[in-house]
Amino acid sequence: MNKPNAWELWYARVKYEDMEVYQDRPVLVIDVSDGIAIIALKVTSTEKRDLWGEYDIIKWKSAGLKNPSTVRCTKILCLRLDDFRRKIGDLHLEDIIQIRDILQS
């Protein structure tokens, strides 16, 4: 398996917030720099809520997603390499710029 890189979409093993249950779900990798933990954001096909930090991926098809999807910039995940299952695709530069702006504000 290849190692995830920043701004790639992957299926990863993610723990539910309120239970000891795990599910493979799409995530957006944002940082792999420390070599120990991989920082990612939750991605969902659930409709965007009217909350700060929710971003609808514009180029979702070219990124390899099957449905319109939203990145939840407030749902930061700290994952290990063995949590990653398979790569979905690469985020388009237009979406990267918008997400970076949200994360930096």
The predicted pLDDT at position 1 comes to 65
Fold held by 8-104:
SH3 type barrels. (2.30.30)
pLDDT tens column, 52-81: 999 999 999 999 999 999 999 998 999 999
Give residue limits of the domains in the chain: 8-104
The predicted pLDDT at position 103 comes to 95
Nearest CA-CA partner of 29 in 14, 51, 48: 14
The predicted pLDDT at position 22 comes to 87
Residue 83, phi then psi, degrees to nearest 5:
-80, -20
Nearest-angstrom CA–CA distance, 79 and 22 = 12
Query: For the whole prediction, is pTM greater than 0.85?
Result: yes
The predicted pLDDT at position 95 comes to 98
Matching residue, tokens 């939840």: 72
CB within 8 Å of 10: residues ≥ 6 apart: 4, 26, 27, 29, 40, 84, 85, 86, 87, 88
Intervals of the chain under pLDDT 50: none
Nearest-angstrom CA–CA distance, 25 and 13 = 7
The predicted pLDDT at position 19 comes to 77
